[in-house]
Amino acid sequence: MLNEAALLTARSDRKLIDNASLDEAIDRVIAGPQKRSRVMSDHEKKVTAYHEGGHALVAHAMPKTDPVHKVTILPRGRSLGYTMVLPEEDRYSTTRNEMLDQLAYALGGRAAEEMVFHDPTTGASNDIEKATTLARAMVTQYGMSERLGAVKLGTGAAEPFLGRDYGHERDYSDDVAASIDQEVRRLIDQAHQEAWDVLIEYRDVLDSMVNALLERETLGKSEIEEIFAPVTKRPIRVAWTGSVHRVPSDRPAIDMPKPKSEA
């Protein structure tokens, strides 16, 4: 990213890397260079604004999603726009609830298109691919399906579809393969409905977001937070252990030990 910022600075005959160069470098690394030659019609701009606004609003409303740092409807790479959601600190693992929120956020754009225009576009294809990959990993790798349990399903990197794990030997039955697909569909449908419910409840906020995007094309974190001020976070989901027989303990985790210098 810093290398990209340095190149942008050099091309502009400047000696110091400034915030504008860093911001552009981040955009290029995440979404590719800006497509200045790509001219969108007013209708397509509006569809893109609702799509990205849907992502951003659902991400903001879900309790375990990282903060929305940026939303733009400027075309970059293969995308007509994008929503940047970033963690506030380094993270090395992800909880089930965080992944469920990611699924809802991923489907927020598609849900917004359906709700407003009653006719979804191909713009959500990458979102659907990411959501499906995540949902399948939850079921087959992370043991986050009560129906299938804490079992690793599949022997290779390629994820199975209807039992077909191409290039790798399958280690489960056709019935289990069908159950995997049903669980993936259930997770996707649940997330789709969660996204829809947020957008229905906060349609006025979504319209305000879209209006701001059409006027300014790119919104930063502070502008987004101002627009989303009326939004109340969804409640955190109930405890999940994978079985009704494993009742969560009411006893909390211990406190972190004090550093030796403070002891």
Q: State pLDDT tens for residues 39-87.
A: 789 999 999 999 999 999 999 999 999 999 999 999 876 778 999 998 9
Q: Rg for the chain (alpha carbons), in Å?
A: 21
**Residue 133 identity:** T
The answer on 173 and 52 residing in a single domain is yes
CA separation for the pair 217, 80 (Å, rounded) = 11
Ramachandran area for residue 159 (φ above 0: left; ψ -120 to 50: alpha; else beta): beta
CA separation for the pair 224, 220 (Å, rounded) = 6
Q: Which residues form the domain of 95? A: 42-227
Residues 140-151: tens digit of each pLDDT: 999 999 999 999
Taking a C-beta distance cutoff of 8 angstroms, is the pair 218, 49 a contact? no
**H-helix or E-strand containing 218?**
strand 218-220
Q: How many domains does the chain have?
A: 2
Q: State the pairing for strand pair 82-85/218-220.
A: unpaired
Q: Which residues are catalytic?
A: 52
- Is residue 235 one of the residues assigned to a domain? no
The answer on 23 and 118 residing in a single domain is no
Domain with 136 in it: what CATH number?
1.20.58.760
> What is the pTM (predicted TM-score) of this model?
0.83
CA separation for the pair 249, 241 (Å, rounded) = 11
CA separation for the pair 162, 229 (Å, rounded) = 44
- Is residue 165 one of the residues assigned to a domain? yes
More confident residue, 97 or 18: 97
